[in-house]
Structure 1
Amino acid sequence: MVEWRTLDDVPVDQTESKLKDGEGTEEEPFDYIHLNSVSVDDDGKSLLVSARNTHAIYQLDRKDADLQWVLGGSASDFEMGEGAAFAWQHDAQRRDDGKITLFDNHAAPRLGDSRGLRLDVDEEAKRATVDTEYPAPDDRSSGSQGNFQELDNGNVFIGWGSEPYFSEFTNDGKLLYDATFTGGSNYRAYRFDWQATPSAPPTATKSEPGEGITRVHMSWNGATEVAAWRILSGDSEEQLTETAVVDREGFETAADVTPTGSRIVVEALDENKEAIGSTTVE
């Protein structure tokens, strides 16, 4: 375990936060630095620590927490190139190509539009420049939270923190989509492949569109592995035979069949045609 006492390396006067009435006491301490992310650097021997209230990222030795450099803020060891300065940021990460990414809130108070930011950090020349930025699609300012996710295909997924949005960009900054949810905030938003088999069984109902024809409606809310549906029919459980197999079509699949008995059962099949769930048609 490593412990870093920030006051040993970061004086209080480097904060960008304003002292509010009543703060600065034992009962109401002043959060002058506000650490919000810690990640292992690419050398495996260092940590990258993001401090929102000093507008800075700190590299620390992973064993003894010695401060190695400061990126950004009023005590930066790096010259910040045009557009490279960030503020009130979150989620600082070193990427495989050596770049450093972060979510640049640039608020609050608002200093500019929020954005995802990829920086080229030259540790020898002590200069940081903008590699790519991922700007908000509109006049959007995230006063807190937010994150930057790099996807396996190189695309970038941005969670907009206190603003109820998430966006995906190409690696070079082209917006692919921008989506919202009903409200609230998201500290971080991520995109992952999702697989699920619900504990509840599938749902199936029937209707009679014509004489001798039964239309079976099949769905399984939350199931991701359904590739097809098998319909079985007969007069009893022991007499069930395969009546039809149909490919899954969206959330609900409908199929017209001529059942061979009064009992109808449907099975959800995976891509290998193995049954992963079943239910009796009501």
Structure 2
Amino acid sequence: MELKQVTRIESISKDDFVRDYVRPQKPVVIKKLIQDWPAYRKWNLEYIREMAGDRTVPLYDDRPISSRFKFNEAHAEMKMSDYIDLLEREPTNYRIFLYNLLKQVPKLQEDFSFPDIGLRFLKQLPMLFFGGANSKVFMHYDIDYANILHFHFHGKKQCILFPPSESKNLYKVPHALISREDIDFNDPDFEKFPVLKKAQGYITELNHGETLYMPEGYWHHMTYLTAGFSMSLRATPRTLTNFSKAVYNLVFMRHFDNYMRKMRGQRWIDYKNRQAVTRTHKKHHINQ
């Protein structure tokens, strides 16, 4: 794989951000976008424990997707205070994924504002993501093709990104939003997955208070280098094509996949994983 460093800038105006990054759909890290937020000073694991420790939160780990669970169904649940204890005590694979904690704890909404940066934010959908040291989020793209501002807090996080044009090189699983889960994007097996050598993307590390812009449909793989958490603000797709893809995913694809898991069970999952390899190698004229 060829991974370039994501461009890092201190700050940027709305017009420059739209011109240089949104229109050409290029990722960027903005280091000082949110320094005026109360969250920049206040948000760490101890503050979240204080504000939301009594809330029960859904947890995900790195087990392979199976027919036992529906699309984005949690693997376990825990009190937030217990989960933060776990994060601070030892490495864990348990993560909080796409959880609207801000809806559960409205006071947290006082700690941030929506940046005036040229994006049409979906203001009912600020999401928080938590992870333990060395936990990973497998390579995927988002179901709604949103433009995303991803703000990191407490610790350090590695992000690997690929534009949608690289889907052909990433062993995309059909009827899903993921690549093969047995690919380690930090140390890929090029003998088993030779097409990955052609993939061209980006890599960066996020520190506390930094913002990553991920354009619509971008693949992303996250590794929590330390325990920490992030928040994403989502903005609608700018093109009709991507809006149509989002509607297809939300209205048809996820329901079809859940139906097939129910009807065929693990055979459906195994079939899709085989097809990810077969279709990718066929496109690149690689003999099986």
**One fold, TM greater than 0.5?**
no
- Structure with greater contact order relative to length (CA < 8 Å, sep ≥ 6): 2
Question: Hey, which of these two has a bigger chunk of helix by percent?
Answer: 2
Question: Hey, which of these two has a bigger chunk of strand by percent?
Answer: 1
TM-score by length of 2: 0.22
In terms of Rg, which structure is larger?
Answer: 1
TM-score by length of 1: 0.22
